[in-house]
Amino acid sequence: MYTSAMNQPETERRRRINMRVSERQERVLRAAADLSGETLTGFVLAVATERAEEVLARGQRIDLDVEAFERFVAALDGPVEEMPTLRRYAGEPSPIPLR
């Protein structure tokens, strides 16, 4: 059986997150979940996961102006400098969970 939260089978959902909210926050979340036709848990999980993925994506993207981009490209095109520490970290798994 599938839930509305991220279309993840219920059998895979084994972890629990508990939180306390104010009365106002609960009213707002319940109203939004009802309007969306979702359970409160499904709504909160979907919205929180979407926001978390946005934050992680921003952490993986570099925004540069034209001048900074040209310096970046020039550095990439320049001679290779040996960096043992960078080489060591490049071989490790990312601390950011990818899909």
pLDDT tens per residue, range 39-74: 999 999 999 999 999 998 888 888 899 999 999 999
Give the CA-trace dihedral at 53, 56, 57, 62, to 10 degrees. Answer: 170
Q: Which two tokens stand for residue 43?
A: 């709504």
Neighbours of 61 (CB within 10 A): 7
Considering Cα of 4, then 8, then 11, then 14, what sign does the dihedral take?
negative
68-82 pLDDT per residue, tens: 999 999 999 998 888
81-92 pLDDT per residue, tens: 888 888 888 888
pTM: 0.55
